[in-house]
Amino acid sequence: MPRKVEISHKTVIFIVVFAILLWFLYSIKDVIFAMFVSLLLMAILNPLVTRLTKFRIPRGISVLLVYILVVGILGAVVASIITPLVNETSSFATGLPRYLENAGIPSFLGKETTSNLLSQLVQIPGQVLTLSVSFFSNLVMVIGSLVFAFYLLLAREKLESQLSSFLGEEKGKRICKVIDSLEFRLGGWMRGQLLLMLAIGIATFLGLILLGIPYALPLAILAGLLEIVPTLGPIIAAIPSVIIGFGISPFIGFAAAFWGLLIHQIENYFFFPKIMEKSVGVSPIITLLALAVGAKLAGIAGVFVSMPVLITSQVLLKEYLSSKD
């Protein structure tokens, strides 16, 4: 005779409440993402703000100065590269068939590659329009993240006392300890990653200019962006430069390959240890898995936040396990 399975009313209530909670979290996923970005910004910028306060500059003014500095630098960089980037990218699409042919790539592969690239370029105006609409529709969220990060930076100095008064001294100190660990690891990783991407981009740009390889700017930006992918990123980024190099001459092609290999080795033995020495050590396999999951769930945005999410999960899991001991 089969046993009768009874489910208590408490279990039913728990399942219903848990399902409602999941639905609620999914409904406000954009708000949660914005808050996470704000916490990430606070972790990146807080060391700069703290340094300014050591010069007896009030914290509010220090935060404002850091915001002006960062936004000014980003604005100047974008304004200076956007026009040559668009021009060089268009020229690259136009000259690609010739370089593929000169490099000895079979004609059917060259035509297929060119056709795919041109089909993507035709879609650029529509993609730009879609991106513009998406940007302005999310502008409020972006501004909200910046404003929230601003207030987090202002309140960071008094965070422990505020949490202690609200949650009690023991819980307040414990939460502050977790936040300190998150700030140290997230901020260190993000600042190191940005500096590493910048270093690789500049090194690639200078090398391509010295070798006389055209389209140095978009290829350097590609190399910098792909630096976020460990091991495979620099290799993938070097392929277009090598193809164009062989399209010019075998010597330039081998020189481009050598330069890409040299940058990769310098990154592994000099840039990465020096720049990321205060960051977290995450296995390349785990990193690739996190990037793949992030890309699957949220596209490009998911790629860029996958590592911060992974680091945050590590810190929270470590704190949870230590509390069980």
Q: What is the mean pLDDT of the chain?
A: 75
More reliable by pLDDT, 246 or 124: 246
Query: HSE on the CB side for 292, CA within 13 Å?
Result: 8
In angstroms, the CA 67 to CA 41 distance is 10
Would you call 114 helix, strand, or coil by DSSP? helix
227-to-34, 154, 168, 260 alpha-carbon distances in Å:
25, 33, 44, 12
- Ranges of H-type helices in 212-269: 216-226, 232-248, 250-266
Residue 131 predicted with pLDDT over 50: no
* pLDDT bucket at 105, cuts 50 / 70 / 90: low
In angstroms, the CA 250 to CA 157 distance is 59
Q: Which two tokens stand for residue 230?
A: 């460990």
Would you call 305 helix, strand, or coil by DSSP? helix
pLDDT at 258: 92
CB 59 within 8 A of CB 49: yes
CB 45 within 8 A of CB 194: no
pLDDT tens digits, one per residue of 277-320? 555 566 667 777 877 887 777 666 677 777 788 888 888 888 77
pLDDT at 129: 45
CB atoms within 10 A of CB 241: 27
**Rg (alpha carbons) of the chain, rounded to whole number:** 25
Would you call 2 helix, strand, or coil by DSSP? coil
pLDDT tens digits, one per residue of 163-209? 777 777 777 777 778 877 877 787 777 777 888 888 888 989 999 99
CB 200 within 8 A of CB 223: yes
Nearest Cα to 81, choosing from 190, 192, 202, 213? 202
Taken in order 273, 276, 279, 281, the sign of the CA dihedral is negative
CB atoms within 10 A of CB 46: 19
More reliable by pLDDT, 36 or 259: 259
Give the chain's length: 325
Q: Kindly write down the DSSP assignment for every residue of 16-68, as one continuous string.
A: HHHHHHHHHHHHTHHHHHHHHHHHHHHHHHHHHHHHHHTTT--HHHHHHHHHH
| % of the chain residues with pLDDT over 70 | 74
pLDDT tens digits, one per residue of 78-95? 777 777 777 777 776 666
* pLDDT bucket at 228, cuts 50 / 70 / 90: confident
Residue 124 predicted with pLDDT over 50: no
Residue 58 predicted with pLDDT over 80: yes
Of the chain, the end-to-end C-alpha distance in Å amounts to: 44
Query: HSE on the CB side for 129, CA within 13 Å?
Result: 4
pLDDT at 9: 67
Would you call 166 helix, strand, or coil by DSSP? helix
Delimit the domains of the chain by residue range: 30-281
Single pTM value for the model: 0.68
